[in-house]
Amino acid sequence: MGTNKKLGLWILTALVVGNMVGSGIFMLPGSLSKAASPAGILSAWLITGFGVLMLALVFGNLAMRKPNLTGGPQIYAKELFKAGSNASTLSGFMSSWGYWLGNVAGNIAVITTFAGYLSTFFPVLLNQAELFSIGGFTIKIGNALTFIVCTILLWGTHFIILRGLDGAGKLNFLATSAKVIGFFLFILVGLFTFQKANITPFVAPRLDEAGQAIGLFGQINNAAVTTLWAFIGVESAVVFASRAKKQVDVKRATMLGLMIALAIYIGISSLVMGMLNHEALAASDKPLIDAISAVIGPIGGKVLAAFGLISLFGSTIGWIMLSAEVPYQAAKQGMFLPAFKMVNKKGIPVLSLIVTNLIGQLFIFSTVSNTISTAFNIAIVIATLAYLVPYLISSVFQLKLVITGETYTDKKSRIIDGVIGVLATIYSVWVIIAGTADLNTFCLGMGLLASGVLLYKWVIPVGKKTTEK
């Protein structure tokens, strides 16, 4: 994407905040309410916030110490092996493949949330009347219209990005600004309308599919993958590191974006539980709008929905930009199909953008047969687990630098970075274990990752040429 104009601190920060505070905050209160009690939810947020802080410090540190490795955390996989070896190329490709698929699924989570909030103004999107049937498969009016809306948003954003990164980045910045203003207004209203009765009992069991009670620690485990989804995108500035005006801005944008997002998440997730009772929150397709409508009426819901739509439009731009950049940067470093290096006159990776959105279109078909909230939940499980491997790789790569002393000149920095690397690694492993406890989820994640092997034979020659040079 555009090589002529570089990205400054505020555009990078907007990408971090815009990609993190996207569909998650709009939909997660409902998903979390099903998984955990208020005590479990808040505990999961605190643990996830600390874990992501460690990961953010890892990303910022690696961006400073290895500025030549750009394109995202998955790029570090190849550095764990001998340079130019097949193991190096394979690990880089498989990590990039998984991270890319995670990005694509993330796009669809944002886009389906947009459709959910649009239903505030067009309730027909929720219409469950039958449109037609083919055999045993029934298409409902609301699902068909949601599919059309999601498709228009996906390809409309595609053409905006084709016009250049600088313009798309500014649109994302404006949308992110509107988002932050809307969320702080929500927090202000929530402070005056919070009802303690809605969060009692504070500690309560939840039931699994078999009807067995899940205790507090089990609830925290269940909520871990869901809360991490809210922070996916914290590495956005790292992905665009090669396009930053200053490398130091990458670390600053990552930390600043994380702090802004954390303040929004803690404020909103705590308050929304006091604005809606558990049953209403768990059943909601648009929990923030339902919460604000319950306390100040339908007008408040429509105002928040308007802010939400602007916000989600900005997030869609940011996510699709990020998704197309991943295989493009990997291809430049010999870890993806060479054709993905193709760019247009504005420096936009055209083939990468087209293929990314074609795969996204396939994911959008899930909205035809599922409700918006179900499609969202499917997307975030796929995306979050796909992200966890590159996150773990980044943490391990930092530990490798600490152990070998590469790029370090003083002992104090090595000790501090070593502690951060260990904590980030422990957190990543914990969430992977928690997220793959369900066999179906584990098989789905492994199947998607393994599918990349089918394309690897076209990447190998690039790895060999790089070695020969």
Q: What is the pLDDT of residue 353?
A: 93
Q: Report which of residues 440 and 325 the model is more confident about.
A: 325
Q: Cα 330 to chain center, whole Å?
A: 19
* pLDDT computed for residue 367 by the predictor: 61
Q: Can you tell me the distance from the alpha carbon of 332 to that of 3, in angstroms, rounded to the nearest whole number?
A: 14
Question: Which pLDDT score is estimated for 183?
Answer: 80
83 SS3 class: coil
pLDDT band for position 366 (50/70/90)? low
Among the listed ranges 311-315, 326-330, 442-446, which one has the minimum average pLDDT value?
A: 442-446
Range in 109-118, 167-176, 364-373 with the lowest mean pLDDT: 364-373
Q: Cβ–Cβ contacts within 10 Å for residue 25, how many? A: 25
Q: Which residue has the higher pLDDT, 110 or 418?
A: 418
Find the range with the poorest average confidence among 8-12, 164-168, 325-329, 368-372. 368-372
pLDDT surpassing 50 at residue 462: no
User: What count of other Cβ atoms lies within 10 Å of the Cβ of residue 74?
Assistant: 31
Q: What is the pLDDT of residues 257-300, one digit of tens each?
A: 888 888 888 788 888 888 888 778 877 767 888 888 888 888 88
Kindly report, residue by residue over 231-248, the tens digit of the pLDDT: 877 877 777 777 778 878
At 361, the amino acid letter reads: Q
Q: How confident is the model at residue 451 (pLDDT cuts 50, 70, 90)?
A: confident
* Structure token digits, residue 411: 């002992």
Q: What is the mean pLDDT of residues 112-134?
A: 81
In this structure, which amino acid lies at residue 223? A
Q: Is it true that domain 9-468 has CATH number 1.20.1740.10? A: yes
pLDDT greater than 50 at residue 32: yes
96-110, 342-356, 377-391, 400-414: the lowest-pLDDT one: 377-391
- Distance (Å, whole) CA 254 – CA 53: 10
pLDDT of residue 435: 64
Res 431: pLDDT: 78
* Average pLDDT of the residues in 433-447: 65
The average confidence (pLDDT) of the chain is: 79
Q: Give me the phi and psi of 137, to 5 degrees please.
A: -100, 125
pLDDT digits (tens, 9 = 90+) for 4-25: 457 788 888 887 887 777 666 7
Q: Strands of 398-442 (E only): list them.
A: none
Distance CA 54, CA 86 (A): 31
Among 147-151, 236-240, 309-313, which range has the highest average pLDDT? Answer: 147-151
Per-residue pLDDT band for 87 (boundaries 50, 70, 90) equals: confident
Q: How confident is the model at residue 447 (pLDDT cuts 50, 70, 90)?
A: confident
DSSP 310-375: HHHHHHHHHHHHHHHHHHHHHHHTTSS-GGGG---TT---HHHHHHHHHHHHHHHTHHHHS-HHHH
Q: Check whether 410 has a pLDDT greater than 80.
A: yes
CA–CA separation, 31 vs 377, rounded Å?
Answer: 8
Separation between Cα atoms, residue 263 and residue 184, nearest integer Å: 10
Beta carbons of 16 and 234 less than 8 angstroms apart: yes
CA 376 to chain centre: 12
